[in-house]
Amino acid sequence: MKDLSPARHRPVDAMKSPRFTGIGTFMRLPHLRDLTGVDAAVVGIPFDTGVTYRVGGRFGPAAVREASRLLRPYHPEHGIEIFDQLSVVDFGDLAVVPGNIQASYAATVEGMGPILDAGAVPLAIGGDHGITLGELRAVAARYGPVGLIDFDSHTDTWEDYWGERYTHGTWCKRAIEEGLIDVGRAVQIGIRGGLYGPQDRAGASSLGLRLIPTEELLRRGVDDVLPEVRERIGGGPVFLTFDIDFIDPAFAPGTGTPEVGGPSTRDALRLVRGLRGLDFKGFDLVEVIPTYDHGEVTSLVAGTLIHEFLALLALLHRDG
């Protein structure tokens, strides 16, 4: 009798074919748009003209995919074989329009539709942080306002830049205004760097966001901050957005608006691992600009973080 259960999708086995061979999808997953039975889909959103400083995030998805060849399927700290739990594909890139952020938002909402409607969790690779607004529109249309865990050295809650209200520095304010975020369940971790004035942080706090600046994170430590984050997010749907500039540019130089004095890659991994059990409905990893990278270090950090996100989803599947 023919097996009618949908095919499970997993990376090419690197013990059978070396990791440097084949086409560069994320972790060498199959590039598929048929989402039957798929639990999670990696998707590129290479839009980068929402930036206020360096461009080049359009090349982020390709660079992160290339670096992700190195990643392995078993996660020893969590004790889980990710692809025994999840069927995962690389969906490819969405049809963004360079220089036109509104058209790119429309393409993002449309492109994310089939992924979300299939019940798969999207893991997006940016692109600049402006893309997150489009993703949140798509996610909130299905789940209502979501909790937000935002790793970033910037609050991205400015009103506008040069009169432009839709940029990588304003997406979070717009998302709150549009009712996409449940602000009582939102937290920004890693805020640091010079500002235009005290009103910048005060403005973010007055929107209802809980800010955990880098200074506070490093003083209290990961183990002290995690329970607070978990309690604030609680049991509802949550979106995790990770701006790579959360991490110190010594570890992740390939980005657009770097801020020195930040947490290490190790701190970031421990924070993300501590989020197991939360009800994630989407993830993104943004602001990787390969042009400013060295030795693929930033791309590898980014790919490794997406691997950590997949591990969180695998744990959800296994343990509920």
Residues near Mn ion, by CB under 5 A: 129, 152-154, 156, 243, 245
CB of 249: closest distance to Mn ion in angstroms? Answer: 11
Q: Report the Cα–Cα distance between both ends of the chain, in Å, rounded.
A: 32
Nearer to Mn ion, 237 or 249 (CB): 249
Nearer to Mn ion, 25 or 132 (CB): 132
How many CA atoms within 13 Å lie on the side-chain side of 188?
23
Nearer to Mn ion, 25 or 155 (CB): 155
CB of 257: closest distance to Mn ion in angstroms? Answer: 6
Q: Which two tokens stand for residue 275?
A: 């989020």
119 to each of 41, 139, 203, how far by Cα in Å? 10, 11, 36
Nearer to Mn ion, 90 or 128 (CB): 128
Closest CA to 188 of 229, 159, 218, 160: 229
Alpha-carbon dihedral of residues 140, 229, 257, 311, nearest 10 degrees?
A: -70
CB of 271: closest distance to Mn ion in angstroms? Answer: 16
CB of 216: closest distance to Mn ion in angstroms? Answer: 17
CB of 138: closest distance to Mn ion in angstroms? Answer: 19
Nearer to Mn ion, 49 or 153 (CB): 153
| Nearest-angstrom CA–CA distance, 57 and 282 | 20
Contact 294, 253 (CB under 8 A): yes
**How far is residue 48 CA from its own chain's centroid?**
15
The radius of gyration of the chain from alpha carbons, rounded to an integer in Å, stands at: 18
Provide the H-helix boundaries in the chain.
Answer: 60-67, 82-85, 101-117, 131-143, 171-177, 199-206, 214-220, 222-233, 265-273, 297-319
CB of 230: closest distance to Mn ion in angstroms? Answer: 22
| Nearest-angstrom CA–CA distance, 253 and 303 | 15
Contact 248, 296 (CB under 8 A): no
Nearer to Mn ion, 11 or 126 (CB): 126
CB of 106: closest distance to Mn ion in angstroms? Answer: 21
CB of 277: closest distance to Mn ion in angstroms? Answer: 26
Nearer to Mn ion, 156 or 182 (CB): 156
Nearer to Mn ion, 83 or 158 (CB): 158
